[in-house]
Structure 1
């Protein structure tokens, strides 16, 4: 039922007048100083409850398996030089949030992002994007001590890109399509979307044709959107391997991408090709910022989505001096394009990462350079980001533009 404008205003007014709920939650954060931190949120009090020296020299990203209660930490240390390496560490998360290391192994250098995926029998795997390592790797789960990678894809470029930052391939993220049958990795250095189909039987990644992104864009992070109207299961053939695409929960599908170097956001129509790969067709490019122009030196970083509302963190725009910004965008129900709604305070410098809780009423922003975790309220009815609930300094501050400071934050959910 569509609410009238007056009814909506009244509803929002009642919601804002209602007592604020007391939230009790836990988060984990990584810092480039070599620590993983446990945080507790109790109402409007955010506190540090544990500090653990772990996850290599440069802890950079956390992925939580809530069913198994295992937290995985990737280390950004190392390069594409095989004499260097990073680490992957697994922790058992106790009911009180305290972490207990259960396994660690060496990885290709430069791990900056990871995602858990499954085969049709429930077998689990972890994929990692290696920025400085110019690679994507995978591991069998649960992780075993000193386990070798399941697969490793190493990338090379014949010519440098548009800017010095594009001197070599730099995968910056790995994320799944709505069916869980494909993995996409935006390569910031090569201006590519690297796509893999996932074998339903054993979780092997099979390379699909990469998708070119506009030269000099520097693709960083992306998300998929689907209307959930699909009702079929399709079988597709890719070489000698047949994959079952579980499309029962997927109908109209689109992908949204933020580009760090070009300062843009792109919209793609997604089709499941009978060849067994994804077909992506770009339909829109915008600058996700007020006035349609990104400030000098400012870059989009993280993108998240709830329903038809998108959120993008903007680093170094100083939109709320001395703090940077979060922007909220709306998706058109007609054609899937996005438009800017507003800009709000990130309450810190260089919001590298942020996470929305499952209830959808709180957002944890991890500001890298100011090294603070900020909890802001989110209106579940309108999608607007609101007041600051709590804020905590976590580790030492870092220099803007350097690999220092806070690197990631995740809810214990």
Structure 2
């Protein structure tokens, strides 16, 4: 198999550390209360470049320049006096690995079959590191640029800023402006913290202290990782069926929720669906958080009986999704969440959506995280845009994770990374529309 050859040839690797191009004054940067809601999870992504691909030298030089403004990414995550994680900004640098797959052509890699070896295209980040980069060079002259980052330090919005700046530095010699902001005052608790009963009730439903967390849904040992494509026409059809006022993501989430009910086992009497919501524009409608680097996320969810979901129409399910997303998509919710974490510290908290909501082991759980801002159209490192790009997040939690993002073709299609139980993958693949196999002929035209 081609991907087996990647594993074999990928064994020839050279690792270095890329430090900021200018000296960094050592300091400690606290994680915000919203960062502290994240468990220690690593998120990966990768870009596929046919010949001519960006050179390793160009990528390293541009990375060193970009790390001057994004200096926390060149540091380490260490515990503070209370045992909470924080950033030691010491200029240690980013681990950068170069692998060679000389006997393989990029167009032969089955990108949709993630479990067959695509995980070899992204780096395994060292403990304490913030970011790692891996470049895999192929015999055809193509290359894959893979990155892995610590989710406690930043969300996808933040890391997208870094990627765009890095690509601009490779393309033009200077990182893209504006520079990131690490100003924690944007997400500090109020003094004194405000505890409104209505706000706290929603937060208590969405989050809980980890010590009081219910057991998560059982992790399927055979969970599968796949990448599918969804045509622009099917996305539009879902949106139309979901009814007026519903977004494409709400329609997609509702469709997936219904598929979960079809895949649920007899003991999974409930299905929990969560959606990751970004709070930047909610907390700062004036745009003050546009360049804020860190996590600004909440995860509302809904739990509905599996049989009920199977009977409901798409418009009704999409209405439910819209309702519970809208409840959490407010500035007051995010400000209340910051205050709620402050009252709990240093005890860690967890999102209940990761745990199947209130259903625990009796729920089939899945989370949708939109990657529609994924900067595939700006990831030109000087030799052109990638032919393909995707996230890679085979996380250890029991809930499934689904990440739609724009296709590199720029035609309105989506590519969708999924980490789900095999029963759900089977249902997704058996339906006549929406989730379609990602073929090489689609990627490499």
Shorter-chain TM-score range: under 0.3
Which structure: greater helix fraction? 2
Bigger RCO (CA 8 Å, 6+ sep): 2
